Structure 1
Amino acid sequence: MKKFNIASCQMNVVDDKEINVNHAIELINEASNNADLITLPEMFNTPYDNDKFIENAEEEKNSYTLKAMCETAKENNIFLQSGSIAELENEKIYNTAYFIDNNGKIIGKHRKMHMFDIDTDTMKFTESETLSPGNTITTLKTPLANISIAICYDVRFNEMWTLMNKNNSDIILLPGAFNKTTGPLHWETLIRARAIDNQAYVIATSPSQVENPYYVAWGHSMVVDPWGKILAKAEKKEEIIYATLMPESINSVREQIPILKNKREDIYETILKK
């Protein structure tokens, strides 16, 4: 990993794909003046709604959204984690996060592995009615760092993060859209815990908290260092946050608290017999 600047774009998402994509380009253009890597939110081009996923799903090879993102990354000479979009392949829809290099080339993607099927006192949402899960841990070796990607609900499954840790991840990017029920209690706690557990930077990028008839995101995008310290944090409204990521921070934490060396892999798979 090398020292570089990152920007997380917490953006307003409306019910119009073209407006969302053009607005994302505006934010990327602004952030590119101060960042080498820019991130966008989960489902940044559509409201978070099963019917809208179907309406706005795109095949990768013909994607209006991805074409615009690749061109923008190249024009600004930046690396771009373009949030996530509804990806259509073989009649299945995936919640997919793409990573684009500074030449405008897609160099990797992550399909959300865990479906957000919940039923609380205040809301019910069943992603699996529309979306299919991915099955692959995503870690990319880039000129900036070893970068892994997870999406929103993936943050709750530490087994997945252990595998990203084994891939020697320096940074984990998390486009996500927690809601106003789980967000106040769990969003910051989980993000900081995952940074501490994995001794890596975690950058979580959410849509802003826009009232709409579909799904209201919590916002509060943040950049957390390997100590669990919040380096930058947005509030509810649209905002770009910035931070400088340094390899020294990772090295220091891993030397002082050698979790990888102290792990007991010999007992973790022990099966208790009756």
Structure 2
Amino acid sequence: MRVAMIQMDMQLGKPEANFEKAEKLVRMAAELKPDVITLPETWNTGFFPRENLKEASDVDLEQTKKLFSRLAKEYRVNIIAGSVANCRDEKIYNTAAVFNRDGEVVMEYDKVHLFSPSGEHEYFEHGKKICNFELDGIPCSLVICYDIRFPELIRSEMLAGSKVQFVVAQWPDTRLLHWDTLNRARAIESQSFLCCTNSVGTAGNTKCGGHSAVYGPMGECLVLGGEAEQILMADMEIGAVDGVRDSINVYRDRLPEVYKI
């Protein structure tokens, strides 16, 4: 599975400009002939405008689906369309959407863990389910930003069969040590590939740190981005996951009856 990660810079509270830019970047990435293209978190609004958030949000993913269904079909590519601020039933969610090569929506996921230090929980609604899906027959899963700090969520998706974990984020540069460490740790403990796509640029007073990366099931780094807007490419040999899980079989050796979570 070849992935192209779009480490995007966006404008806070300006969805039309961000949609235009996202389309341009996806078309650039598609020319590189990947199997999957990824975008970061809340790229339609930035993370996140307190004023006029509802007006800036997509409505039930209507604009997101219209654009990425068309692009996925045009280029015959799978798209992890990052996440967007999304108004549904008069509530706002941080919602990711996944499209297959036929332009079909194969999964929608509302961010479960909202980042309380920034007040995200005061503006957005919590999601209530994990996110597992298949792309080209490969079992995959997805989380959004702060979710990566909750290994029980990642393990739940792994127990549902995932071999590739996608992470989309707007992670600040002040905590890049955490970003790099947590993503590598989740790959090692899950014995899976982990593809983490972060944004760059400044949203309000927050500067996002980039460092988008792909880690292998032994924690090896296949590609690591810098702090500027760019498209990163990596090839994931999915068969390696089974080999690692057979050699150190943490899934067989788990004792869930002991854990108090």
What TM-score comes out, normalization by structure 2 length? Answer: 0.94
Question: Is 1:24 aligned to residue 30 of structure 2?
Answer: no
Distance change in 2, residues 1:257/1:211 (3 Å): same
In structure 1, the gaps of 5 or more residues are 119-124
Q: Does structure 1 residue 170 correspond to structure 2 residue 163?
A: yes
The residue that corresponds to 1:102 in the other structure is: 101
TM-aligned CA deviation for residue 247 of structure 1: 2.1
Q: CA deviation at 1:141?
A: 2.5
What displacement does 1:50 show? 4.0
Which residue in 1 is equivalent to 2:219?
Answer: 228
Runs of 4+ displaced beyond 4 Å: none
> Residue in 2 aligned with 1:36?
35
Q: Indicate yes or no: 2:8 matched with 1:11.
A: yes
CA distance in 2, matches of 1:55, 1:227: 44
Question: Are 2:74 and 1:81 aligned?
Answer: no
Equivalent residue for 2:183, pick from 176, 191, 206: 191
CA distance in 2 between counterparts of 1:196 and 1:79 reads 25
In structure 1, the partner of 2:55 is 55
Cα offset, 1:22, TM superposition? 1.8
**Alpha-carbon deviations, 1:153-194, whole Å to 9, x = none?**
0000011111011111011111011112222x2000000000
Give the 3-state SS of the residue equivalent to 1:150 in structure 2. Answer: strand
Counterpart Cα distance in 2 of 1:142 and 1:223: 17
> Are 1:73 and 1:101, in contact at CA under 8 Å, matched by a contact in 2?
yes
Asked if structure 2 preserves the Cα contact closer than 8 Å seen for 1:220 and 1:235, the reply is: yes
Contact 1:17 1:56 in 2 (8 A): yes
What letter corresponds to residue 258 of structure 1 in structure 2? N
User: Per-residue deviation at 1:252?
Assistant: 1.7
Deviation at 1:96, TM superposition (A): 0.5
Query: Would you say 1:251 and 2:249 are equivalent positions?
Result: no
Q: 1:219-246 CA distances to partner (integer Å, 9 max, x unpaired)?
A: 1111111111110111100011111111
* Match of residue 262, structure 1, among 239, 253, 256: 253
Q: Distance in 2 between matches of 1:59 and 1:247?
A: 35
Report the identity percentage.
Answer: 29
Aligned residues: 258
1 CA distance for matches of 2:169 and 2:203? 17
Letter in 2 for 1:143: D
In structure 2, the CA distance between the partners of 1:205 and 1:17, relative to structure 1 (3 Å rule), is: same
Aligned equivalent of 1:121: none
SS in 2 for 1:103: coil
How far apart, CA to CA, are the structure 2 residues paired with 1:213 and 1:190? 25
Residues 50, 127 of structure 1: 8 Å contact kept: no
Structure 2 unmatched runs, 5+: none
In 1, Cα distance between equivalents of 2:98 and 2:221: 24
Return the offset for 1:8: 0.7
Structure having the higher Rg: 1
User: CA offsets per residue over residues 17-72 of structure 1, 9 Å max, x none?
Assistant: 222112211221121233010000001111212426333212226x2233112111
